[in-house]
């Protein structure tokens, strides 16, 4: 099998669990605190690696020269990830995310990017990093600086790699800021709210048409949480809806939705590297995201055995997806 490369944020998550979100100016009691490794790109890399063989996933990102950075390297290495693309910056501290989670598993995230912001295009031009990118058959771009996302997308396209991009927080910059990168990718992944904000429509055909004006071959994956996901391709002429997994119907509870989207993308990318068709890859991604929702930790994505057992359990309860 070839290589999968992920680039973007590596954070340390401070998860604050409470019964309900406070109103502005209100103080509420935190019931539990969990400090765990996170960051969108690191989460995606771990999710993919757990479904693949060791050293088949490479991560490019930035950490500080601090205890958190050293812990991140140790944790990622233990997950079987190639960490040779992770850069350490002595003048920045490692990224942090402060995440508030209510008793329904919903969340609000407050991120300090720190060393993540240091992965600039000049870092990508380093020969070692360039070789890692060139070796990748599938590239997942999460949330590095926008100029870096563009550079990696251009390199991926030039190397005939399959390029997947979830811009995350950069959606707030508007569609014009994303256009250069969109012209160089194969899959644009985002959630329903972000697609609606960017393109002023929720209608799949119009989403496909608007993206096709930039890149005729681009495919869109709309993450819809409890509603599943929608694949849009062929300039909006072809749409496939992949339903979600109804956890409550099979006696399971949503514990924490932080990291579900990352588990989804990691599983989707791993399936595409294995040669799966889009629909089959998205089914695997939905199951991985649903499994993660039942886990407290940010990186609660399943291993291959756990994913297979979860799928069998759902099917046995007659609540699977067709």
Would you tell me how many other CB atoms lie within 10 Å of the CB of residue 4? 30
pLDDT of residue 2: 64
Residues whose CB falls within 8 Å of the CB of residue 190, separated by 6 or more in sequence, listed in order: 166, 167, 168, 171, 198, 220, 221, 222, 223
H, E, C per residue of 130-193: HHHHHCEEEEEECCCCHHHHHHHHHHHHHCCCEEEECCHHHHHHCHHHHHHHHCCCCEEEEEHH
Q: Which residues pair with 163 in a beta bridge?
A: 139
User: What share of the chain in percent tops pLDDT 70?
Assistant: 98
Is the model's pLDDT at 154 over the cut of 90? yes
Q: Which of 88, 56, 54, 49 is closest to 71 using CA atoms?
A: 88
Give the tens place of pLDDT for each residue, 172-188: 899 999 999 999 999 99
Predicted confidence (pLDDT) per residue in 97-117, tens digit:
998 989 888 888 889 999 999
Whether residue 202 has pLDDT greater than 90: no
37: DSSP letter: E
Q: Which residue has the higher pLDDT, 305 or 297?
A: 305
Query: Please, what is the angle between helix 40-49 and helix 260-273, to 10°?
Result: 50
Beta strands in 184-288 (DSSP E): 187-191, 219-223, 229-233, 238-242
Residue 66 has pLDDT above 90, yes or no: yes
What does pTM read for this prediction? 0.92
The burial class, CB within 10 Å (0-12 / 13-18 / 19+), for 88 is middle
Round to whole Å and give the CA distance between 180 and 183.
5
Q: What pairing do the DSSP bridges indicate for beta strands 57-64 and 3-7?
A: parallel
Q: Decide if 200 contacts 176 (C-beta within 8 A).
A: no
Using DSSP bridges, classify how beta strands 95-101 and 11-18 pair: parallel, antiparallel or unpaired: parallel
pLDDT in tens, 205-224: 889 999 999 999 999 999 98
d(CA 16, CA 30): 6
Q: Is the pLDDT of residue 321 over 50?
A: no
Cα(232)–Cα(219) distance, integer angstroms: 6
Which residue is it, tokens 């720190």? 114
Distance CA 86, CA 204 (A): 37
- CB 65: neighbour CB atoms within 10 A? 14
Query: Is the pLDDT confidence value at 26 over 60?
Result: yes
């Amino acid at each position: 099998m070839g290589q999968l490369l992920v680039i973007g944020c590596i954070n340390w998550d401070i998860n604050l669990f409470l019964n309900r979100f406070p109103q502005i100016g209100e103080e509420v009691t935190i019931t539990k605190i969990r400090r765990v490794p996170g960051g969108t790109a690191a989460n995606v890399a771990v999710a993919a690696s757990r479904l693949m063989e060791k050293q088949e996933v490479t991560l490019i990102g930035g950490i500080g020269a601090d205890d958190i950075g050293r812990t991140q390297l140790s944790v990622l290495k233990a997950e079987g990830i190639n960490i040779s693309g992770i850069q350490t910056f002595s003048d920045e501290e490692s990224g942090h995310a402060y995440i508030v989670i209510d008793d329904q598993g919903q969340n609000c995230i407050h991120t300090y990017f720190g060393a993540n912001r240091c992965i600039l295009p000049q870092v990508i031009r380093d020969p070692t990093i360039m070789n890692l990118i060139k070796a990748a058959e599938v590239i997942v771009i999460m949330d590095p600086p926008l100029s870096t996302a563009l550079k990696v997308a251009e390199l991926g396209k030039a190397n005939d790699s399959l390029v997947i991009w979830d811009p995350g927080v950069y959606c707030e910059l508007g569609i014009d800021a994303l256009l250069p990168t969109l012209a160089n990718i194969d899959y644009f992944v985002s959630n329903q709210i972000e697609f609606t904000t960017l393109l002023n429509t929720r209608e799949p055909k119009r989403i496909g048409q608007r993206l096709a004006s930039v890149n005729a071959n681009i495919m869109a994956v709309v993450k819809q949480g409890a509603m599943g996901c929608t694949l849009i391709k062929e300039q909006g002429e072809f749409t496939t809806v992949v339903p979600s997994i109804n956890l409550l119907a099979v006696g399971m509870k949503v514990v924490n939705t932080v990291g579900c989207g990352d588990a989804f993308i990691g599983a989707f990318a791993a399936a595409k590297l294995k040669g799966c068709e889009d629909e089959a890859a998205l089914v695997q991604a939905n199951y991985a995201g649903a499994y993660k929702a039942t886990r407290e930790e940010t990186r609660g994505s399943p291993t291959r055995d756990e994913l297979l057992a979860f799928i069998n359990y759902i099917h046995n309860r007659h609540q699977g997806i067709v």
